């Protein structure tokens, strides 16, 4: 519909061009048709159908219970109302343990309407999965730093990459993911200085969530930035409903601040 009205859909080529030109990329999560349509109207360039739906929609304490079938359902819901945004869907926990399983899972999400899939981790086996998917025409976004699917191994939701060794390893993993063919990387809950360094070293866009202002773009969970998630919000979340009269106004303010490089300001970042 948007295309017929002269509104060209955003492609990975467009996002890579924006990155090359230094234009910030705005991203928010959505899990349903109504919010998908609203984000499109507000000018959000990239929508993430995140496995965060396990927390936000299903009420779980982590993302690990989310299944591929559930991700397919929510991807279909978002895709039906999408007019021009670029859609990224998460490969959920235990759905990409080997390349063949990953391809099967990714194919379901792509058929449901995703333009790209995202997977967590930059270890050797994840890099192999990325390469396998890209070689088979599946666009991939990597995800480094805090990995919600690994929260039980990490022992909680903690800032990652604070030591010299872990920061060096994360940079090496980011470069390896890029070399394997990843066209975008999400960086979550890392020191702002490390977010800046990784972004400078890569030629693909970095999308920060608690990774500082120097990333190529920013993402937040929609319910978090609207101030409606239960409990205490993460340090990197700004409530954009403050000072705005409607959800639409809050989302537009988020887009403006991301595009202008005003969000995140230092209080929403982490020191090294």
- Full residue range of the structural domain in which residue 58 is found: 12-268
- 120 annotated ligand binder: yes
CB 83 within 8 A of CB 1: yes
Give the residue among 192, 197, 153, 158 at the shortest CA–CA distance from 174: 197
The tally of domains found in the chain comes to: 1
Lowest-confidence segment of 121-130, 151-160, 248-257 by average pLDDT:
151-160
Is residue 173 in some structural domain?
Answer: yes
- 51 annotated ligand binder: yes
Is residue 56 in some structural domain?
Answer: yes
Is residue 3 in some structural domain?
Answer: no
**Per-residue pLDDT tens digits for 97-128:** 999 999 999 999 999 999 999 999 999 999 99
Reply yes or no on whether the pLDDT at 3 is more than 70.
no
pLDDT range class, residue 77, cuts 50, 70, 90: very high
For residue 202 the two structure tokens come to 């890569």
Give the residue among 238, 145, 156 at the shortest CA–CA distance from 192: 145
Give the residue among 62, 4, 70, 1 at the shortest CA–CA distance from 31: 70
Is residue 234 in some structural domain?
Answer: yes
Cα separations in angstroms, 31 against 38, 109, 241: 12, 13, 19
**Per-residue pLDDT tens digits for 162-177:** 999 999 999 999 999 9
Known active-site residue 267:
no
Local structure of 97: helix, strand or coil? coil
Beta bridge partners of 179: none
User: Alpha-carbon Rg of the chain, whole angstroms?
Assistant: 17
Entry pTM:
0.96
- 24 annotated ligand binder: no
Task: Say how far apart CA 161 and CA 170 lie, in whole Å.
Answer: 7
E-state strands within the chain: 25-29, 46-49, 86-90, 116-120, 140-145, 184-188, 206-209, 217-220
Is residue 2 in some structural domain?
Answer: no
Among candidate residues 21, 188, 196, 248, the one labeled active-site is: 188
Q: DSSP assignment of 115-131, as one string?
A: SEEEEE--SHHHHHHHH
Is residue 6 in some structural domain?
Answer: no
Domain at 230, CATH number: 3.20.20.60
Percent of the chain scoring above 70 in pLDDT: 98
- DSSP state, 267? G
């Amino acid at each position: 519909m948007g295309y017929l009205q002269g509104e060209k859909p955003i492609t990975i080529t467009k996002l890579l061009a924006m990155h090359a030109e230094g234009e910030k990329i705005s991203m928010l999560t959505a899990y349903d048709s109504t919010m998908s349509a609203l984000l499109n109207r507000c000018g959000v360039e990239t929508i993430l159908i995140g496995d965060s739906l396990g927390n936000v929609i299903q009420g779980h304490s982590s993302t690990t219970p989310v299944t591929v079938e559930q991700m397919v359902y929510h991807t279909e819901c978002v895709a039906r109302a999408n007019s021009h945004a670029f859609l990224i869907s998460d490969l959920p926990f235990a759905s990409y343990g080997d390349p063949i399983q990953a391809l099967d899972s990714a194919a379901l999400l792509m058929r449901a309407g995703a333009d790209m899939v995202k997977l967590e981790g930059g270890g050797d086996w994840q890099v192999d999965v990325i390469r396998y998917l890209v070689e088979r025409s599946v666009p991939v976004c990597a995800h480094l730093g805090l990995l919600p699917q690994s929260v039980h191994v990490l022992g909680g939701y903690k800032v990652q990459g604070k030591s010299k060794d872990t920061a060096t390893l994360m940079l090496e993993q980011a470069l390896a993911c890029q070399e394997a063919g990843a066209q975008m990387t999400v960086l979550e809950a890392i020191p702002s200085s490390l977010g800046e360094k990784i972004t400078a070293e890569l030629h693909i866009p970095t999308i920060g969530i608690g990774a500082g202002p120097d990333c190529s773009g920013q993402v937040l969970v929609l319910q978090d930035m609207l101030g409606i998630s239960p409990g205490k919000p993460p340090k990197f979340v700004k409530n954009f409903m403050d000072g705005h009269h409607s959800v639409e106004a809050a989302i537009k303010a988020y887009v403006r601040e991301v595009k202008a490089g005003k969000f995140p300001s230092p209080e929403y970042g982490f020191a090294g």
